Chain A
Amino acid sequence: MDFAKSVIDATCEIFETMLMTRVTPGDPLPNRSDVFVDGISGLVGMAGGYRGMLAIHCSNRVAMAITGTFLGIDVETVDDDVKDAIGEMANMLAGSVKTSLSENGKDIKLSIPSAVGGEEYTFECHAAADQVLMPFKMPDGEFLVELQLQEQSE
């Protein structure tokens, strides 16, 4: 299965449908740093036929832009609304990727979305068999969508 294509299709559809914003995917990155600065990460865990997680990592500036477009308001600080919006982005991305994965007959359960952020935070994930780290460009900057999956035996 082409996980990069699933991530690109899901991300482009969600931004175009919910934010009326066109995003441009870059080339997949080989790896990322575990430490993020002045940003927010939204995360959804996956269990069942595949185990892993989907995350969206963005700077505070991009997170505020996404939230402002989402809600149709000006957002000037990173508050609970911003964390909630980035968590919900992760939720929709995970749901779309889950739909693609479920076409292989795999039953997958999603966790409740969460978000972490701050001036400097660590986001560690044990390497999985299949991983994609995809950069996207939008008018206010760049963000990353990360998918880590390990297929589980029946």
Chain B
Amino acid sequence: MGKKVLIIDDSSTMRKIVARSLRQAGFDFETILEAGDGQEALEVLSGENVDVILSDINMPNMNGVEFLRNKAEDDGIRNIPVVMITTEAGSEILREALELGAKGSIKKPFTPDQVQDTLGALL
């Protein structure tokens, strides 16, 4: 069965760019799901089994760190790997995300090769 990825970002532009970068990096996901913030992502995950999540940090309503906290409390989704895609390189909030279980990070701006390097190790 094909793999599914969930892209979480409040920017519709960035969601499209991440999806395009995944294709350019050679990933052949059967389904690419999208969410505009952490709350919307939790709603998507309540009805979908996904293999990996790519998440922004700085978002309205529920940011990437709050999303990780909520995800950790849900046995059904706790083990889905998350990679943060963010402008917040080296920041306190990114360190917090990694402590909460994020498996890696990709700094915006990014190239498909950087997506391949980070995600390839997880899939």
Contacts and interface: CB of A to CB of B under 8 A. Distances in A.
B97 to A, nearest CB: 14
A30 interface: no
Contacts of A148: none
A110 B11 contact: no
Main secondary structure of the interface of A (DSSP, over half): helix
A102 B91 contact: yes
Interface of A: 13-14, 17-18, 67, 70-72, 80-81, 84-85, 87-88, 91-92, 94-96, 98-99, 102, 107, 110, 112-113
B30 interface: no
B58 to A, nearest CB: 6
Nearest to B114: A17
Interface of B: 10-14, 16-17, 20, 58-60, 86-92, 107-111
Contact of B14 (A88, A99, A102, A112): A88
A18 B111 CA distance: 7
Given A98-B87, A99-B90, A71 B60 contact: no
Given A18-B17, A72-B20, A95-B86, A84 B91 contact: no
Contacts of B13: 67, 70-71, 81, 84-85, 88
Nearest to A10: B109
B108 A92 contact: yes
Nearest to B9: A88
Nearest to A94: B87
A91 B87 contact: yes
Contacts of B110: 17-18
A14 B92 CA distance: 22
